[in-house]
């Protein structure tokens, strides 16, 4: 039986692409055993289990952080991570390994390469992280979601595939969802939450209520901030609010919203399938400032407005919300440009490339 290993996790930005690729392997390689590898400290254990996979969890250190002690701890912990990966790979004997980023990806892909396993990596952001830059030397193929990131890798290895999407994201984009006359805004803090974004949204609601007869806000706070945000939300006439700590099925919310306000992780590529304008607030401490580069790509195509966190004020957000909801020519541009930018078959292309490369037997 062929065993295929998909490794990575930590945040939803890594776990969901891993799930999409794993499910596509099951579809294209009937009878194969597809296993997902993550870490004990990430969110992958719950998400993978909910999707029907029994995750293999290994020890893997964090690679982010600028302090000397953090870097020292990472270096000391790496041998333990490599040993965990070695034991698992020797036990399961995979034919190929796909790393999707996150802490578990690094050691699994490195060890797999050293043992002669066909290895591949997927980079979801415009600026690759340090781990994927190192792993690019081990990978037969490198699959990227943003055109900008192609320049960081060898031309003969890199393939622009788009970001692997969950099936329900693509399916909901094609559905006709019942809508109300109320303008609707979806606020996404990301899987880790975004306190300042939460605070500014709450602050701006009374002014929005004066400008719109009816308004619905779907607000995903992040689990850590849910109770605090719930206590702070004002009761405002004409404004209907639905609060969520976290949402697995984002397609349903995307399909009934008129504007998205969000961090700018790789998940923003999902927005393109719905043709909805967005206001993006990059997380300033993201590795390599990749969220700024993600947002800039959207802004350059006119489908989003980027506001750096230091510039995120009540007045600026109010102006951009009004423009996004009331400027019909802008909304038409976003809809048409999004259709050109969206890639819906990323998982299919990644899996097909992996299978073709593995058959060639070349590194």
Give the residue among 92, 97, 88, 110 at the shortest CA–CA distance from 39.
88
Q: 78-82, 107-111, 256-260: which has the minimum mean pLDDT? A: 78-82
Residue 359 is predicted with a pLDDT of: 85
Q: 6-20, 94-108, 314-328, 333-347: which has the minimum mean pLDDT? A: 6-20
Are both 121 and 251 inside the same structural domain? no
Are both 132 and 91 inside the same structural domain? yes
Instruction: Compute the average pLDDT of residues 336-342.
Output: 96
Domain CATH number, residue 306: 3.40.50.2000
CA angle 217, 219, 221 (to 5 degrees): 160
Residue 182 is predicted with a pLDDT of: 85
What backbone phi and psi angles, to 5 degrees, belong to 119?
Answer: -120, 145
**Structural domain range at position 333:** 170-341
Residue 119 has pLDDT above 80, yes or no: yes
Are both 152 and 269 inside the same structural domain? no
Q: How confident is the model at residue 196 (pLDDT cuts 50, 70, 90)?
A: confident
State pLDDT tens for residues 251-284. Answer: 999 999 999 999 999 999 999 999 999 999 999 8
Are both 182 and 321 inside the same structural domain? yes
The 10 Å CB-count burial string (b at 16+, else e) for 58-91 is bbbbebeeeeeeeeeebeeebeebbebbbebbee
Check: CB of residue 194 under 8 Å from CB of residue 283: yes
**What's the domain count of the chain?**
2
State pLDDT tens for residues 143-183. Answer: 999 999 999 999 999 999 999 998 889 988 888 776 777 89
């Amino acid at each position: 039986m062929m065993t295929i290993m998909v490794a990575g996790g930590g945040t939803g930005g890594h776990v969901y692409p891993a799930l999409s690729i794993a499910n596509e392997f099951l579809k294209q390689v009937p009878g194969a055993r597809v296993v997902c590898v993550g870490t004990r400290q990430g969110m992958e254990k719950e998400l993978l289990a909910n999707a029907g996979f029994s995750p293999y969890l290994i020890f893997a250190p964090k690679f982010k952080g600028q302090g000397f002690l953090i870097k020292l701890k990472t270096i000391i912990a790496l041998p333990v991570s490599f040993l965990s990966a070695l034991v698992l790979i020797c036990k399961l004997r995979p034919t190929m390994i796909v790393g999707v980023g996150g802490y578990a990806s690094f050691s699994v892909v490195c060890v797999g390469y050293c043992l002669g396993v066909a290895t591949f990596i997927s980079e979801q952001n415009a600026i690759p992280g340090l781990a994927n830059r190192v792993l690019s030397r081990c990978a037969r193929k490198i699959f990227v979601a943003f055109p900008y990131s192609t320049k960081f890798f060898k031309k003969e290895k890199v393939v622009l595939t788009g970001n692997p999407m969950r099936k329900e994201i693509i399916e909901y984009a094609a559905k006709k969802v019942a809508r109300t006359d109320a303008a609707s805004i979806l606020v996404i803090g990301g899987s880790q939450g975004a306190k300042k974004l939460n605070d500014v949204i709450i602050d701006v609601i009374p002014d929005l209520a004066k400008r719109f007869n009816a308004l619905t806000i779907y607000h995903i706070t992040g689990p850590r901030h849910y109770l605090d945000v719930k206590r702070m939300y004002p009761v405002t006439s004409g404004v209907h609010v639905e609060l969520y700590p976290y949402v697995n099925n984002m397609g349903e919310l995307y399909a009934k919203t008129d504007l998205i306000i969000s961090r700018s992780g790789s998940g923003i590529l999902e927005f393109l399938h719905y043709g909805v304008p967005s206001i993006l607030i990059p997380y300033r401490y993201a590795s390599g400032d990749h969220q700024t580069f993600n947002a800039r790509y959207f802004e350059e195509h006119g489908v989003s407005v980027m506001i750096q966190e230091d510039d995120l004020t009540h007045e600026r957000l109010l102006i951009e919300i009004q423009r996004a909801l009331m400027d019909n020519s802008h909304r038409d541009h976003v809809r048409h440009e999004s259709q050109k930018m969206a890639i819906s078959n990323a998982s299919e292309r990644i899996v097909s490339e992996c299978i073709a490369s593995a058959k060639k037997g070349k590194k």
